[in-house]
Chain A
Amino acid sequence: MRLIELVWSYLRIGVANEMQYRVNFFLQLLQSLVALGTGLIGLWLVFNQTTSLAGWSQPELLAVMGVYILMGGVIQAGIQPNMQRLVDEIQEGTLDFALTKPVDGQLIVSIREFRFWQLTDVLVGLVVLVFASVQLRQQVSGMQTLAFIVALFLGGVMIYSFWLMLTTTAFWLTRIGEMVNLFQGLYAAGRWPVTIYPDWLRLGLTFLVPVAFAVTVPAEALTNRLSPTTLLGALVLALALFVLARIVWRLGVRSYSGASA
């Protein structure tokens, strides 16, 4: 219960902080819409030339894009800002302030920042998903919705774990700005279903950088392609990554020596 209380109060602080800059909401919305526009144009250009891409129809790819935007919003709002702050504090040696708090270190570094306005992307993603399911002309059943939410949650856990591991390497390597850049580039691959990529890239996007599970698998749940085995696999991989991230984090903290707090 302590955990929920803690998350809740940080969330409140984050929202209150962002509420000071209301114009940013409109700027963020504009940015989300511009990104949506260019994404739609890309999709439209492809379907000017063909009727399906690697077995995915246009509305199905629209669903993939919806999940991509939605998950991107979650990452930008809750995961990326925390990880960025963690990197900065490791570099500057001010992580002490977080580590000396009487709660678990990993927990506190993961919930301190919350960019409320970035949730516009979640909103835009949801709208795109609604459009996609209307175009698909199929009733999305309760079971499908449930599978979708579960897959989305597992995908989020995987992205979080992966990014925490990446960030934790800063304990040893200090400068990792470029790696973060690399991750963002690779995440963009999620705009399309990973099945269209050549084998080596698809494997990388599935197991090295869990883009496949974060975007493609939830989209499969909505478009009736998801097998229970895949969902089970997602569960196992999410758990494994989470545990691994925990271990790496522990090792990292052990080798941390505050420089100048």
Chain B
Amino acid sequence: MRRHVGFYLAAMKMSILEQFQYRAQNYFYMIGMIAEPIIYLVVWSSVANQQGGSVGGYTAGTFAAYYIVWTLVRNMNIVFTPYGWEWRLQHGRLSAELMRPIHPIHNDVAYFAGWKVVVIVLWLPLAAVLALIFKPSLNPTWLQLVVFFFAIWGAYLIRTMFLSLLGMIAFWTTRVGAIYELYFALELILSGRLVPMTLMPAWVQRVALFLPFQSAFYFPINALVGQLGPVELLSGLGLQLVWILVGVGLVNIVWSRGIKRFSAVGN
């Protein structure tokens, strides 16, 4: 355990230093990403205005809050991609990582977690500018702020686990792009990335309850922007924990089966 803590601290520090070097590049990337939520925001606030001020419980102001917080949660959702797994397996990169005395996934988790620290710092001015332009109505309680802080890291871990699972499909087949795209489309709709879940038809909301997507996206945003009481907030965090544990369990099972099939050599 102490060995792992030491590793995490060192790996995170390394990636913080590294990514801070590339801050301009990181910024361009983040700015490129805000086009998507701004489009949703504009569309939905004009729908809200047309419907006499609110739609599905959201006004133009709360939509603005939703989609601005969205940008941070989206950034927290960026983890080692399944395409990276595909590359790592097909090019035999994994061989070198297997030589280390620690499970390779720890490195993924630690490296991207460090990167997130840089991203959060860079996000703050971006959020300030967006807030000036779109005037969100946002007044969270202290509890909401605290829960939000933990929820974005929970979201990060959930998505890391499930995308690792997705990536490990490449142990069995080489044509994985189509599966990934289908998964991402499903995630777009069922996570709250496209619209707040309350705007979805009731049956879609019910289906989403049984899937991990919401916990990694809608819940953190809603924790800060929504009107959740203490019980809902804490049970939301609890559900995140359940999904993290489910994810870790599945990753372990799939990994131990998949790694037996891995036969690439070289680096």
Residues of A within 8 A of B (CB): 23, 27, 30-31, 34-35, 37-38, 41-42, 45-46, 48-50, 52-54, 175, 178-179, 181-182, 184-186, 188-189, 191-192, 196-198, 201
Given contacts A184-B32, A188-B39, A191-B39, contact A49 B194 (CB under 8 A): no
In the bound complex, CA of A37 to CA of B46 (Å): 23
Are B36 and A185 within 8 A (Cβ)? Answer: yes
Are A181 and B29 within 8 A (Cβ)? Answer: yes
Query: When the two chains form the complex, which single residue of A23, A37, A49, A201 contacts B51, counting CB atoms closer than 8 Å?
Result: A49
A residues less than 8 Å from B46 (CB atoms): 53-54, 196
Q: Report A37 CB to chain B, min CB distance, Å.
A: 7
A residues less than 8 Å from B177 (CB atoms): 27, 31
Residue B235 at the chain A interface, CB threshold 8 Å: no
In the bound complex, CA of A42 to CA of B55 (Å): 15
Given contacts A34-B185, A178-B25, A182-B32, contact A50 B47 (CB under 8 A): yes
B155-187 to A contact mask, C-beta < 8 Å, 1/0 = 000000000000000000001011001100100
Residue B42 at the chain A interface, CB threshold 8 Å: yes
Residue B188 at the chain A interface, CB threshold 8 Å: yes
B53-77 to A contact mask, C-beta < 8 Å, 1/0 = 0011000000000000000000000
Query: When the two chains form the complex, which single residue of A23, A49, A191, A197 contacts B47, counting CB atoms closer than 8 Å?
Result: A49
Are B188 and A38 within 8 A (Cβ)? Answer: yes
Given contacts A42-B194, A49-B51, A198-B42, contact A185 B35 (CB under 8 A): yes
Q: Report A30 CB to chain B, min CB distance, Å.
A: 5
A residues less than 8 Å from B234 (CB atoms): none
A residues less than 8 Å from B47 (CB atoms): 46, 49-50, 53
Residue B1 at the chain A interface, CB threshold 8 Å: no
B residues less than 8 Å from A186 (CB atoms): 35
Are A185 and B32 within 8 A (Cβ)? Answer: yes
Residue B110 at the chain A interface, CB threshold 8 Å: no
Are B178 and A31 within 8 A (Cβ)? Answer: yes
Q: Report A49 CB to chain B, min CB distance, Å.
A: 5
Residues of B within 8 A of A (CB): 25, 28-29, 31-36, 38-39, 42-44, 46-47, 50-51, 55-56, 175, 177-178, 181-182, 185, 188-189, 194-195, 199-201
A residues less than 8 Å from B175 (CB atoms): 23, 27
Are B42 and A181 within 8 A (Cβ)? Answer: no
Are B189 and A182 within 8 A (Cβ)? Answer: no
Q: B51, B175, B178, B189 — which one has the most chain A CB atoms within 10 A of its CB? A: B178
A residues less than 8 Å from B31 (CB atoms): 182
User: Can you pick out 15 interface pairs between chain A and chain B where the beta carbons lie within 8 Å of each other?
Assistant: A27-B178, A30-B181, A38-B189, A41-B189, A42-B195, A46-B43, A49-B47, A50-B47, A50-B51, A53-B46, A54-B46, A181-B28, A186-B35, A197-B42, A198-B42
Are A182 and B28 within 8 A (Cβ)? Answer: yes
Given contacts A178-B29, A196-B43, A196-B46, contact A30 B178 (CB under 8 A): yes
Q: Report A163 CB to chain B, min CB distance, Å.
A: 15
In the bound complex, CA of A157 to CA of B178 (Å): 32
In the bound complex, CA of A189 to CA of B32 (Å): 12
In the bound complex, CA of A8 to CA of B32 (Å): 35
Q: Report A115 CB to chain B, min CB distance, Å.
A: 15
Q: Report B27 CB to chain A, min CB distance, Å.
A: 8
Q: Report B1 CB to chain A, min CB distance, Å.
A: 40
